[in-house]
A and B are shown apart, each in its own frame.
Chain A
Amino acid sequence: MEKGISIPKTLPPSLRTKGRYIVFEIVSEMRLSYSDFSAAMWNSLLDFIGELGASEARCWLIKNLYDEKAQRGVIKCSHDKVEHVRAALALLHTIGDTRATVRILGVTGTIKSAQNKYLGMKDLRSFGE
């Protein structure tokens, strides 16, 4: 047996929960940091859909895709709770100390398509086109 901390194996695709990636843009008076937005998002989610709903939504604000300069980012959530997360984001009006509103740019099934379609990141295959 291998030494060290053992972790469970990755589930096969048929047993994994289906996710969706919500690409958003923040319209605000000042630039907002990842931590400010994350705190505001979780407050809004817990206020609107509650602890049980938030646990079912399996929300995750992806840190390395949050662009502080462009004020854009990606939230991963469960595929059947996209409308709940949309509504909770629509109910955000103050983030930190600044007035702000969140606009959803689109919803995708993979991170790759979120990057290609909405975040302006290209993969190597696009150079051949």
Chain B
Amino acid sequence: MTFYDLHTNTNDTIGEDSIEDMISVAKKMALSGLGVVRFDKVSKKLHSDEIDIVDCVMIRAEIVDEVNRLIQRFRNDADVIMVYGGNYDINRAACENSMVDILCHPELGRNDSGLDHICARAAHENNVAIEINFREILELSRRHRASVLGYLRRNIMLCSKFDTKMVLVSSSISKWDLRTGRELAAVANLLGMDLGKAIECASTVPENIVKTNREKLAGKKYDGASLVEE
């Protein structure tokens, strides 16, 4: 099985370790692909022969117009477009924009889950995946961890109800934060996700997002039609 972790940070952005260190631990963790996040200002593309490095751009903005402008700017440049969630207006705008691939941590810094039935339905219609962020659970403890687990449980329930895509990510800022897809699936299973679906959310769902976007960027696939070579 090929597991993909689409949200990791290296020392080029907010991470602690270099890409080489991350790749060496990712190989031990049996990961097939590693999504290295760059923020919109950094434009360094990475490549490795050992593991599939996915170029992910994180759109981070305070207002909705700025988010839409940055998405337009980077859509034809990156394998995966992610939006930095947390603000409800940004979460909803991301769910309603079909150019977005993943909405990251919609519950970040909030006292609620950051999603409602309107966002979940819009995310399903626009093919936007909702991120289940493991680092939020890992870094918190006791009461705060219990709160975040509750918000994630609610988001998983909403996404299951509206058949919205979800992706499981470690969101690691260090090589020691990386986890195998199967472990992330075990956590998601305890939060109410079916185990088979949880394993898909760490393997085939992110893999398909990357594959489809690369085909579109290469001009082999358009909305609703694929170019077949004879």
A residues at B contact (CB < 8 Å): 27, 47, 83-84, 86-87, 89-91, 93, 99-101, 103-104
Give every chain B residue within 8 A of A100 (Cβ-Cβ): 176
- Asked whether A104 and B183 contact (CB < 8 A) given A83-B195, A93-B176, A99-B174, the answer is yes
Please tell me the size bucket of the interface on B.
Answer: 20 to 34
Give every chain A residue within 8 A of B187 (Cβ-Cβ): 87, 90-91
A91 to B184, CA, bound (A): 10
Give every chain B residue within 8 A of A104 (Cβ-Cβ): 180, 182-183
A101 to B179, CA, bound (A): 8
**Which residues of B (151-188) have their CB < 8 Å from a CB of A?**
174, 176-180, 182-184, 186-187
Contact A86 B186 (CB under 8 A): yes
Contact B176 A99 (CB under 8 A): yes
B222 to chain A minimum Cβ distance, whole angstroms, is: 40
B205 to chain A minimum Cβ distance, whole angstroms, is: 19
B198's closest neighbor in chain A, by CB?
A83
B189's closest neighbor in chain A, by CB?
A83
Where chain B touches its partner, the secondary structure class is helix
What 10 pairs between A and B have smallest CB-CB spacing?
A90-B183, A86-B186, A99-B176, A87-B187, A87-B186, A83-B186, A83-B189, A90-B179, A87-B190, A101-B176
Interface string of B136-151 (1 = CB under 8 A from A): 0110011001000000
A104 to B186, CA, bound (A): 11
B63 at the interface (CB under 8 A from A): no
A24 to chain B minimum Cβ distance, whole angstroms, is: 10
B29 at the interface (CB under 8 A from A): yes
B195's closest neighbor in chain A, by CB?
A83
A83 to B189, CA, bound (A): 8
A101 to B29, CA, bound (A): 10
Give every chain A residue within 8 A of B67 (Cβ-Cβ): none
- Asked whether A91 and B138 contact (CB < 8 A) given A83-B189, A103-B29, A104-B182, the answer is yes
Give every chain A residue within 8 A of B179 (Cβ-Cβ): 90, 101
Contact A47 B176 (CB under 8 A): no
B141's closest neighbor in chain A, by CB?
A47
B28 at the interface (CB under 8 A from A): yes
